[in-house]
A and B are shown apart, each in its own frame.
Chain A
Amino acid sequence: METVQQLIVCGGCNAKIGPGNLGELLADLPKATSEKLLVGFDSTDDAAVIKLREDLAIIQTLDFFPTMVTDPYLFGKIAAANALSDVYAMGGEVLSALNIVAFPEEKDLGILKEILRGGAEKVQEAGAILAGGHSIHDSSVKYGLSVTGTIDPTKIYQNNTCQLGDHLILTKPLGVSIITVGYSAEEISEEAFVKATTSMETLNKYAMAIIRNYEINSCTDVTGFGLAGHLHEMVNGQYSAEIDSARLPYFEEAYQGAKEFILTAGGQRNRNYMEDKIDFQLNDFGIEELLFDPQTSGGLLVSVPADEAAALVAELQAAGIPAQDFGTIIEKQDKELIVY
């Protein structure tokens, strides 16, 4: 099926190593201890934050993955939007970025140029400096960015600091892995595919510019672990979260696709990790699959005090961001997530 200017579809965040495996492995590694390291990998946050001065810290993050769409230019845009997102999820501003490239020796370099063009455009849109990169030959195409951002150390949004009674807001619809793999299997329409990829290439910059003006308690971006996995990190063993499936933002075609058994490997890995932590009070296989669906360049998941939620959602929606208030942080229950 592969034509000269096309990529093989094999991943996106669907290719991420499962959260269970990663946690076990990281637990045994020596841990860096420095007062300057404000957020490191002893937590499971989106990026590392290192304090430089009282009023300045840098955010470091990198993200790269295999192709999830056949169009190299589109792939470049999505991979870059995904990599830049970690800085926004912490509440920071992006400063600079470096390309990370793996590309087969025998492949047409014109394809690589298109990937890099897509990436460079997104870095430019973000207002960051694209300062170089590193590329190697490899059997399959991979692309991403190493991104540096800046932040005020007193205003870092961590992914596990939600508070009782908070409302949960998600700024992009769920279901992009179901749609992209379903599209490549010719089970999903072009129209749905365009909707999903448009969402994926949208920078979280615009949502964060609004969110920043509110007193939020916790924020992360929803990526490979799916909404369920990221909520698991957010409640941090201290609370549970209630999810109202009727208010959950998702692509209808993804919901329908899940019910037609467009089942991804990443989604099943997330299910294996999270399933026993969830009380599904409704019998809806499509909703279950959406909660486990790995998101590539997913939306921001924000935990915000109840009295701010409506205003924040209204402002996001007015700016054209399809945000929804879909849940609440409640006292810790037997299960971490209660879905009704």
Chain B
Amino acid sequence: MFKIDALGKACPLPVIETKKALREHDVVETLVDNEIATQNLRKMAEQLGYIYQMDQDAPNHYKVVISKGNADLIDDEEPQVAEAIATVDDYIVVVDTNVMGRGSDELGKNLLKGFIYSLTEQDVLPEKVIFYNGGVQSVVEGSDSLEDIRGLAERGVEIYACGACLNFYELTAAVGEVTNMYRIVEMMRQAPKIVKP
């Protein structure tokens, strides 16, 4: 077990030192001198899906042990690390255009409509569909694909539209959630597979 003496250190240092130690070690013991610091360590452990134990030895002396454990030892909620294990079928779709492919835009629009319709017919639906730039034109009133996208949403597919893009085109999303670049990057980064028209 790796030990850290963080007595006398103010947050966020005890948490950051523990986080770094957990990269190298499976079990880390951290000594802190205040309850708030133990709560911050617990918060981190919960977010990482690790096991948290705390003993108060004296009024200003707390011993926190965080261990990676193994999944079946963790009896409360599903640990978040489980998200990283995806099945081969998991995918998200990113629509970054109002036309599919290069060549004729008229054809491209029809192809995109067909693409979105075909999504609704797949054996395995995407986890999420993210629309940005010209793609947001699909999620607004008057879009040929709006009904198909609403159908996906009703079947549990998360629909996201880029807020800055809607603003740029002066459009309002008629389905799904408006999101920002940070979340778009995060969703794409975490996706096991990205499918684009």
Instruction: Given A185-B16, A285-B47, decide whether A265 and B10 contact each other with a Cβ distance below 8 A.
Output: yes
What CA separation (Å) do A264 and B39 show in the bound complex?
10
Q: How far is the CA of A261 from the CA of B163 in the complex (A)?
A: 27
Binds A, one of B121-129, B145-153, B173-181: B173-181
Instruction: List A contacts of B44 (CB < 8 A).
Output: 261, 263
Query: Quick one: which of A10, A271, A272 contacts B10, CB cutoff 8 A?
Result: A10
What does the 1/0 interface line of A263-276 toward B look like (CB < 8 Å)? 11100110110000
Residues of chain A in range 241-261 having any CB-CB distance to chain B below 8 Å: 246-247, 252, 255-256, 260-261
Contact partner of B39 (CB less than 8 A), chosen from A246, A261, A272, A285, is A272
CB distance from A290 to the nearest CB of B (A): 12
The smallest C-beta distance from B37 to any residue of chain A, in angstroms, reads: 7
Interface 0/1 of B29-52, CB less than 8 Å to A: 000001011011001100100000
Q: Evaluate contact between B36 and A261: CB separation under 8 angstroms.
A: no
- Is A100 in the interface zone, CB < 8 Å from B? no
Contact between B19 and A261, CB atoms less than 8 A apart: yes
Residues of B bordering A, CB below 8 Å: 10-13, 15-16, 19, 34, 36-37, 39-40, 43-44, 47, 163, 177-180, 182-183
The reply to whether A269 and B36 contact each other, CB–CB distance below 8 Å, is yes
Closest Cβ of chain B to A107, distance in Å, is 20
A268 and B36 within 8 A (CB)? yes
Interface pair B182/A181, CB less than 8 Å apart: no
Nearest A residue (CB) for B41: A263
Contacting pair B177 A181 (CB below 8 A): no
Given contacts A261-B44, A263-B12, 15 further A-B contacts (CB under 8 A): A10-B10, A181-B11, A185-B13, A185-B16, A187-B16, A255-B182, A261-B15, A261-B19, A263-B11, A263-B40, A265-B37, A265-B40, A268-B40, A268-B43, A285-B43
Complex contacts, B40 vs chain A, CB 8 Å: 261, 263-265, 268
Q: Report the separation of the CA atoms of residues A314 and B40 in the bound assembly, to the nearest whole angstrom.
A: 38
- Residues of A contacting B12 with CB < 8 Å? 181-182, 185, 187, 261-264
B182 touches A252 (CB 8 A): yes
Contacts of A262 in B (CB 8 A): 12, 15-16
Determine the residue in chain A with the shortest Cβ distance to B42. A268
Residue of B nearest to A252 (CB): B182
Report the nearest B residue to A340, measured CB to CB: B177
Taken together as a complex, chains A and B put the C-alpha atoms of A185 and B44 apart, in Å, by 17
Some 30 contacts from A to B, beta carbons below 8 A apart, are A10-B10, A181-B11, A182-B12, A185-B16, A187-B12, A187-B16, A246-B163, A246-B178, A246-B180, A246-B183, A247-B178, A252-B182, A255-B182, A261-B19, A261-B43, A262-B12, A262-B16, A263-B15, A263-B40, A265-B10, A265-B11, A265-B34, A265-B36, A265-B37, A265-B40, A268-B11, A268-B36, A268-B43, A269-B36, A271-B39
| Distance of A272 Cα from B36 Cα, bound (Å) | 9
Closest to A246 in B: B178
Expressed in whole angstroms, the Cα–Cα distance for A260 and B40 within the complex equals: 12
Q: Which chain A residues (168-216) contact chain B, with CB distance < 8 Å?
A: 181-182, 185, 187
Complex Cα gap A22–B180 (Å): 37
- The 10 residue pairs across chains A and B that have the minimum distance between CB atoms: A263-B40, A265-B11, A261-B44, A265-B36, A262-B12, A268-B36, A263-B15, A261-B15, A263-B12, A268-B39
Residue on A nearest B163 in the bound complex, by CB: A246
Tell me which of B16, B179, B180, B182 contacts A261 (CB under 8 A).
Answer: B16
Closest to B47 in A: A285
**Given the complex of chains A and B, what is the CA–CA distance between A185 and B43 in angstroms?**
19
CA distance A185 to B20 in the complex (A): 13
CA of A264 to CA of B180, assembled, Å? 25
Name the contact of B47 in the complex, choosing from A185, A255, A261, A268 (C-beta under 8 A): A261
Chain B residues near A271: list those with CB within 8 A: 39
User: How far is the CB of B48 from the nearest CB of chain A, in Å?
Assistant: 9
Most chain B beta-carbon contacts within 10 A, residue among A181, A265, A271, A285: A265
Q: How far is B85's CA from A3's CA once the two chains are assembled, in angstroms?
A: 48
Least CB distance from A180 to B in Å reads 11
Least Cβ distance of A189 to chain B in Å?
15
What distance in Å separates the Cβ of A327 from its nearest Cβ neighbour in chain B? 14
Alpha-carbon distance between A256 and B183 when the two chains are bound, in angstroms: 11
Query: Which of A260, A262, A268 has the most B CB atoms < 10 Å from its CB?
Result: A268
* CB neighbours of A246 from chain B (8 A): 163, 177-180, 183
CB neighbours (8 Å) of A285 from chain B are 43, 47
The closest CB in chain A to the CB of B40 belongs to A263
> Considering the chains assembled together, what is the distance between the CA atoms of A10 and B179 in angstroms?
35
When chains A and B are docked, how far (Å) is the Cα of A10 from the Cα of B163?
37
| Residues of chain B with a CB closer than 8 A to A272's CB | 39
A187 contact set on B, CB distance < 8 A: 12, 16
CB distance from B33 to the nearest CB of A (A): 11
Once bound together, how far apart are the Cα atoms of A134 and B194, in whole Å?
A: 63
A265 to B43, CA, bound (A): 12
